[in-house]
Chain A
Amino acid sequence: MSSLNRALPAAAFALLVGGFALAFYWAPEDADQGFSQKIFYLHVPIALTAYASFGWGAWKALRLLWTGERRYDLESYTAIHMGVIFGLLTLVTGSIWAKISWGEWWTWGERQLVLFLILFLFYSSYFMLRYSTDPGPRRERNSAVYALFGVVLIPVSFLAVRIAGTILHPTIFTHEGADLPWQMLVSFLICLGGMLSLAATLYRVELSGKRVDASLRELRELIA
């Protein structure tokens, strides 16, 4: 077991528990939203982790197309798998926050929400495309191209709230910096670090499982 395999889960646990504790007991309560703003420390790190996972999957897809090394296919697939899980969590936690703040679970009038949903559905369809073709170089190339197309939606989705005319969805990080007290910012950054470490841990676990699965399949064919 490499030292990174031990360090990542430990870091994820320490940062998440520490970050959430700081968010609840140290960071001040938001003057406008009150206690419900505490979801910010969960929802935003999850959303950013989903973007990071999709971005990582696209990067691995690019490496596959660039170098032709087949190992990048499994890495890209696993990263997108992680992105979809975190994307689903983003939608669920976002809906809960929307219900408290806006009084409804979902609103079609917010561009960022709709664009995030499109991004999520786009990458959810990745699995349908992947499993509609037989395993092999063709499937790997098609999946990589699809993963790369999706990455275009990430900056659009991320910037949508800044170019949107509506003000329902709050904008915390602007060109002038973070629009929140430093205690909130520190707590948020620790939670973000924890969530990214958690995603990295799950990515490595999932990737190991898929590699073992592939090796066993190869072994089965050799023995048969």
Chain B
Amino acid sequence: MSTAEKYVTGAYLVLLGSLLVYLLIIALKVGRLEQELADLTQAAREKQRG
């Protein structure tokens, strides 16, 4: 692999790596929102019961 090929591969991997990091962040965020929604549902049920 020539130097140019290494750098070009590196540049394209930067995009791929960024997308994977973004996907991880979104997955963590969805998990957090899911947990918050479950907590709020629980709180709303308890409030309804009085």
Q: Enumerate chain A interface residues (CB-CB to B < 8 A).
A: 20, 34-36, 38-39, 42-43, 46, 85, 89, 92-93, 96-97, 99-100, 202, 205, 209, 212-213, 216, 219-220, 223
Contact = CB atoms under 8 A, between A and B. Distances in A.
Nearest to B47: A223
Interface string B1-27: 011110110111011001000100010
B43 A223 contact: yes
> Which of B3, B7, B11, B22 has the most chain A CB within a 10 Å cutoff?
B11
A205 B26 CA distance: 9
A120 B33 CA distance: 30
Interface of B: 2-5, 7-8, 10-12, 14-15, 18, 22, 26, 29-30, 33, 36-37, 40, 43-44, 47
A209 B27 CA distance: 11
A43 B11 contact: yes
Given A202-B22, A223-B40, A223-B43, A89 B8 contact: no
B15 A46 contact: yes
Contacts of A42: 11-12, 15
